[in-house]
A and B are shown apart, each in its own frame.
Chain A
């Protein structure tokens, strides 16, 4: 008799256990550059993701999230593609996320379609990427979102009649150039010189490029360089060549005033005006909580930046999908859940455009000021809910 009870209770226990584990684990494939030149970006996004998982486990509706992380190593597309192929076929992930470099996202798009796996892009900013697959959603940005309004702002509010553009010679740089030029010329400005200023990998000596620009005497210099050490070198070179004294104002997208590099730039950066969607210095309650959680987790000297917040928001998007679909993630349903999704991000209110599946967010005009011995970002103006202008205006490849 006792053995019968033991049997029954074990069976019952098994049923209960399997029922709780029926709150299925959702597998998320994370493809980031954890090594090589993009390692610092991979780390920022990874940190943002982990932080959200830690602080908002309840947002997933009781489901466990298993992150399967793969290093995409280089921006060549092939390693990312193989990793995605394995994640889909072997690991059978429910979602894909990450993607720092655009070629990696571009290479993986067809797999997302073929494998019917939703892809939440956390960085790759080439404007027409969401057009490549119906299952792509982006929570980061496009270069047009910052460049195009900056063009108009520079002419109308900053008094730039003429502008030279320096841009790193690869697609994000060219995108940013085109975006700024379109916006600037539409507002009546004139772009005098467009100078490619080296490649994205090594930090070149910007002096010959800036010297050339200085000789042409524009009112303003719009610079795009990839986030990282390039930005610090730009500001240093700008100061070394005394360009401010020559009457040339330095502007650009927020990549050149990235939070993680700001303090290193020194007083030379004061007065820099940029346009971006995030700074760690925003004083909304969401951001203050976010920054505090970040510093608690990763050290008082560390700071989140636009990549960190992309990791956070991307996870929030995934949580929304998982909760809405109760753990049974399926591509079409996931897209329907994300189209029109709104969220109070640390960067401000964001939403996913139902037509383009791309991010819609506020763009802020940043100015670097010195306060209490530290450099800070002050917001001069906010342009609300900017949709990607490239797709909106159907420019070039952005046309569907």
Chain B
């Protein structure tokens, strides 16, 4: 019984960390700029494919490939933001939805063209494979690695947002954009920075996810709903919220599947509805206004 509980929590944790890393960027950009970017999953997908290409064609190791993918996608996203997103900051949410879905479709077809429709996979390095003995139980090494990465990123982001000047500016702008602008914060420039950071993180998450979730050109569409759920349940613009939401959803989803597999994906959606009915702004979201 205890064994089962530990398994559920552990696997839920690993699953949640990937969700967190991929989704946190979307939460902050949506909270900061109110921009509905449904194409966020494309960055995760691009990161995944970049890792796969680097490892199989260039022979780069897994960890360096992750780093390169994160930075590469972050830089590319700056260009994307300038061309497609910047003209639409003042546009309606509907237009933003149309744009981002259009980008998703284009990306899906482009990746199908470049990599073929079949899913791709990677072989993680030896030191990340197999099992690790934590004393009381053995756990799969790769999932431990995922958890470690997630916690590391969460800590780094928290420090960055709570303890640095830029972080303070972002928090101020999320709280009350007009006030922040009136005291001299250049919100547009801040947004570009945050956008790039979020995309880079998504790419990192995508690279990490290849071994567990697999990767195909449909990735961006497949995981769109999940990412949106994490962001909405956590509350826009809140790193803590995204983290907790990912944890809750990850563990509940795993628990649900263990206890009642016939229920399928019911749990995640039921939990989402329950949370949103009671706390419409998410667990840690700011109120409207």
- Which residues in A have some Cβ–Cβ distance to B below 8 Å? 35-37, 39-40, 42-43, 169, 195-199, 201-205, 207-209, 211-212, 215, 228-229, 232-233, 236, 240-242, 260, 264, 266
Contact = CB atoms under 8 A, between A and B. Distances in A.
A212 B258 contact: yes
Nearest to B226: A202
A35 B221 CA distance: 13
Contacts of A229: 119, 121, 214, 216
B8 interface: yes
SS class, residues of chain B in contact with chain A: helix
B186 interface: no
B15 interface: yes
Interface residues of B, number: 37
Given A208-B257, A260-B118, A39 B112 contact: yes
Interface of B: 3-4, 7-8, 11, 15, 109, 112, 116-119, 121, 123, 131, 138, 140, 142-143, 211-214, 216-218, 222-223, 253-255, 257-258, 261-262, 264-265
6 contacts: A198-B264, A198-B265, A199-B264, A207-B11, A212-B261, A229-B119
Contact of B214 (A198, A209, A232, A240): A232
B254 A208 contact: yes
Contacts of B142: 240
B121 A232 contact: yes
A233 B212 contact: yes
Interface centre among B123, B257, B262 (most CB of A within 10 A): B257
Nearest to A198: B264
Identify which of B118, B142, B223 gathers the most chain A CB atoms within 10 Å of its CB. B118
Query: When A and B form their complex, which 9 residue pairs have the shortest distance between CB atoms, in order from nearest?
Result: A39-B117, A229-B214, A208-B258, A240-B140, A40-B118, A208-B257, A229-B119, A207-B11, A40-B117
Contacts of A241: 140
A36 B253 CA distance: 26
A203 B214 CA distance: 7
A42 B117 contact: yes
B117 to A, nearest CB: 3
Given A39-B117, A205-B253, 9 more contacts: A196-B262, A197-B261, A207-B7, A209-B261, A212-B258, A228-B119, A240-B142, A242-B138, A266-B123
B8 A208 contact: yes
Given A39-B117, A196-B262, A205-B15, A233 B3 contact: no
Nearest to A212: B258
A231 to B, nearest CB: 10
Nearest to B211: A236
